[in-house]
Amino acid sequence: MAITIHENTGIFHLHNSLISYIIKTMPNGQMGQLYYGPAIRDREDFSHLMERGHRDMAPCIFDGDTTFSLEHLKQEYPVFGTGDMRYPAYEIRRENGSCITSFLYKGYQIYQGKKELPGLPAVYVESETEAVTLELHLEDPVIRSSLTLVYTIFEALPVIIRSARFQNQGEEDWELTRAMSICLDLPDSDYDMVDLAGASLRERYVDTHPIHQGVQSIHSMRGHSSHQFNPFLALKRRDAGERAGEVIGISLVYSGNFLAQAEMDTMGTLRVMAGIHPQGFLWRVKRGESFVTPEAVMVYSRQGLNGMSQVYHKLYRTRLARGYWRDRERPILINNWEATYMDFDEEKICSIARKAAELGIELFVLDDGWFGERDDDTSSLGDWQPNPRKLPRGIRGIAEKVTAMGMAFGLWFEPEMVSRQSRLYEAHPDWVLGSTDRPICAGRHQYVLDFSKDEVVDYIGDQMEAILGSSPISYVKWDMNRSISDLFSAGRDREHQGTVYHRQILGIYKLYDRLTKAFPKVLFESCASGGGRFDPGILYYAPQGWASDDTDGAERVKIQYGTSYVYPISSIGSHVSAVPNHQTFRRTPLSSRAACAYFGTFGYELDLNLLTEEEQEEVKEQIRFMKEHRKFLHSGTFYRLRSPFEGKTAGKEAAWMVVSQDRRRALVAVFRLLQPVNAGYDRLKLEGLCPELEYRICDRDYTCFGDELMEAGLILSDWANGVRTSPVVQGDFRARLIEIDSL
């Protein structure tokens, strides 16, 4: 691993054994992009990779030199207004209205390791030898301000992490109206763009489409990363698949409004950017002040989409998630939500808890409805005191009863919201985001608290600390059930309003940081009306997140398949829920619901007392199975084998597997969404096994070497025939788990 500087030629070469990233100081003093891809041998000069050509119609910086136009050169952090007509990475508006700036190279700094980002989540290192960081220092002498481009490259991973820092060192205040975290200019556009799109109850579906001339983008302007798009995109070569081919992934470590886009120009080159969405963003930077962008994580893979995902999984599981629960086995939980909703009392909760303890569950979670006068979703958010009618001895009383049964106790909060019918709203209507002279949009009968105000964050934090500190609580489900629609911070001046979206997220991070430090052994699980804020920024504070409010066993296959493009399965909250399912009204077998949930944190969301004795015995076996396998499932290598979105299995089947780190064991899951009739023969090629090892397969009487299972495949024809005489259970919404162990 190295960052090699060739000062005579202005070349900066970031490289390890897997990748190279090459930057050059251009003749006009700005920074140019020369190469990003597989590792190449270092040399003194790569200037020949800067392609210049005669462009009659293009504006040129050097009068008379028609070959040097920023409209056609590949750049590191471009700006609009100095000849480049494409979308810029940043924009600064001066007091006179000018948006023309030019940051020129002044110097650099290299250091081992990686620094924290103030107030923002970020990837970290545990040893300075893991990574090395380059800071490029640029300066605009007209406005006497600096721009620092920060690059961290890891020693053993094809990862480069980028962010930018602006600092005003002059006399004139200016406004930052756009500040991307990353810009990558590529020499061609022969890619498909892959993103994770959807809506509430169908989050992170895989969406693949060819790059075409113009801009294709994903975004959120909802105040959170959203159900509609995840802050991630990948560029894959048209022939790339799961196993092989070139893929570039870009993931933004941020939980608020974002924009990620790919722009193909008229010459077929491609510009990719990701960062805070400029809509509603205007940040005044005064003398001596600075602004830091969130960081973007860029991954390069020649092993296809699986290769890209496995890098993100390892990095995010071990160097983004943090704290006491990062590497520990997660407790198997039961949540009362779909069993009772808000209609419960202490005895009803205890009856479910007693059965849960009997079956081997380790954590009971009390969901919404325990506080204020909350019997439905019209009241009491913000009044975080227990309802004595439901819980006569308060949270401490019910928590002590549950822990006496041998389980840990967890609690639901929605700290960022307030109900109109609440004591908090009556006392502080000015703490709600929204215009004071117009009606405010309500969503789910609730408003968004103004977390851009420190006093609001502190008030909610004090209430949560009082509850967590006075009761034996081991887990918090942190929910967020509506978007920001009315962006206005009451009592603040005009200048402040353009900062509210970003300050809102900084306030959420501040509260997370406070509580995780005050209660380091509490397991926090993020939730946002399901998967509406399932992003790397939140993963920094909460090592697992509720993937979707859709708990249907068949739908969850698609949701968790898409989620696995970026996020480790140790971060995916997954439950076995009741049937008929409360979202799709579908009946799926108990075994199928569990098979999907195993590839996540695993838990239950139903009334266990309503199960038959046979079903309760099945639940016992599922819990035993997960306790046996969860450590290797959460630390192993995940492979997607068949897609429910593309190819001949689209809408019909999906398959994936996890291989242990020593490659001596694996668990394969095959999901049948729709039953075929009179189908042909079927083989499933496995991944990640050791070719030389001989493996025992749980459902057959012969052994196979790893190379056979990966090249010839695992025969599944007994499941594909669709005939009543098949020895394997047939039908829609079925799952098949296959355990593989080395001899």
CB burial class (10 A; 0-12, 13-18, 19+) of residue 349?
A: buried
Q: pLDDT of 170-187, one tens digit each?
A: 999 999 999 999 999 999
What distances in angstroms separate CA 192 from CA 154, 198, 241, 249, 270, one per listed residue? 26, 18, 11, 12, 12
Q: pLDDT of 378-436, one tens digit each?
A: 999 999 999 999 999 999 999 999 999 999 999 999 999 999 999 999 999 999 999 98
What distances in angstroms separate CA 397 from CA 386, 391, 468, 662, one per listed residue? 11, 8, 13, 45
What's the confidence (pLDDT) of residue 507? Answer: 98
Q: HSE-up of 725 (CA within 13 Å, CB side)?
A: 1
What distances in angstroms separate CA 195 from CA 33, 204, 209, 425, one per listed residue? 24, 8, 9, 39
309: pLDDT confidence band, cut at 50, 70 and 90?
very high
Residue 17 scores a pLDDT above 60 = yes
What's the confidence (pLDDT) of residue 81? Answer: 83
What's the confidence (pLDDT) of residue 63? Answer: 74
389 contacts: CB under 8 Å, gap ≥ 6: 345
Residue 128's closest CA among 116, 118, 117, 114? 114
Q: Give me the amino acid identity at 566.
A: V
Helix axes 500-518, 454-470, angle to 10 degrees: 20
What's the confidence (pLDDT) of residue 722? Answer: 55
Identify the helix (H) or strand (E) that includes residue 275. Answer: strand 270-276
Class of 333-635 in CATH = alpha beta
What's the confidence (pLDDT) of residue 61? Answer: 78
CB 593, CB 628: distance < 8 Å: no
Q: What are phi and psi of 465, to 5 degrees?
A: -60, -40
386 contacts: CB under 8 Å, gap ≥ 6: 370, 371, 394, 395
Q: pLDDT of 113-145, one tens digit each?
A: 999 999 999 999 999 999 999 999 999 999 999
Of these residues, 479, 535, 550, 552, which one is catalytic? 479
Q: What is the CATH number of domain 640-742?
A: 2.60.40.1180
CB atoms within 10 A of CB 635: 19
CB burial class (10 A; 0-12, 13-18, 19+) of residue 727?
A: exposed
Identify the helix (H) or strand (E) that includes residue 177. Answer: strand 174-186
CB burial class (10 A; 0-12, 13-18, 19+) of residue 438?
A: exposed
Q: How far apart are CA 255 and CA 258, in angstroms?
A: 8
Across 502-525, average pLDDT? 98
Report the chain's mean pLDDT, rounded to a whole number.
96
CB 240, CB 247: distance < 8 Å: yes
Of these residues, 185, 195, 450, 549, which one is catalytic? 549
67: pLDDT confidence band, cut at 50, 70 and 90?
confident
What distances in angstroms separate CA 187 from CA 27, 190, 210, 267, one per listed residue? 19, 10, 16, 9
Q: Give me the amino acid identity at 731.
A: G
Q: What is the CATH number of domain 2-319?
A: 2.70.98.60
What's the confidence (pLDDT) of residue 260? Answer: 98
* Per-domain boundaries in the chain: 2-319, 333-635, 640-742
Radius of gyration of the chain (CA): 27
Residue 677 scores a pLDDT above 90 = no
Helix axes 553-563, 590-597, angle to 10 degrees: 10
Residue 619's closest CA among 604, 630, 637? 604
* Predicted structure pTM score: 0.98
82: pLDDT confidence band, cut at 50, 70 and 90?
confident
CB 498, CB 282: distance < 8 Å: yes
504: pLDDT confidence band, cut at 50, 70 and 90?
very high
Residue percentage of the chain with pLDDT more than 70: 99
458 contacts: CB under 8 Å, gap ≥ 6: none
Q: pLDDT of 19-52, one tens digit each?
A: 999 999 999 999 999 999 999 999 999 999 998 8
Asked about 140 being catalytic, the answer comes back as: no
Q: Give me the amino acid identity at 646.
A: E
Residue 233 scores a pLDDT above 90 = yes
Residue 339: which region, alpha, beta or left (left: phi > 0; alpha: psi -120 to 50)?
A: alpha
CB 131, CB 249: distance < 8 Å: no
Residue 360 scores a pLDDT above 70 = yes
Of 53-57, 62-66, 324-328, 739-743, give the lowest mean pLDDT range.
Answer: 53-57
Asked about 479 being catalytic, the answer comes back as: yes
What's the confidence (pLDDT) of residue 725? Answer: 64
- Helix, strand, coil share of the chain (percent; to 5): 20, 30, 45
Residue 1 scores a pLDDT above 80 = no
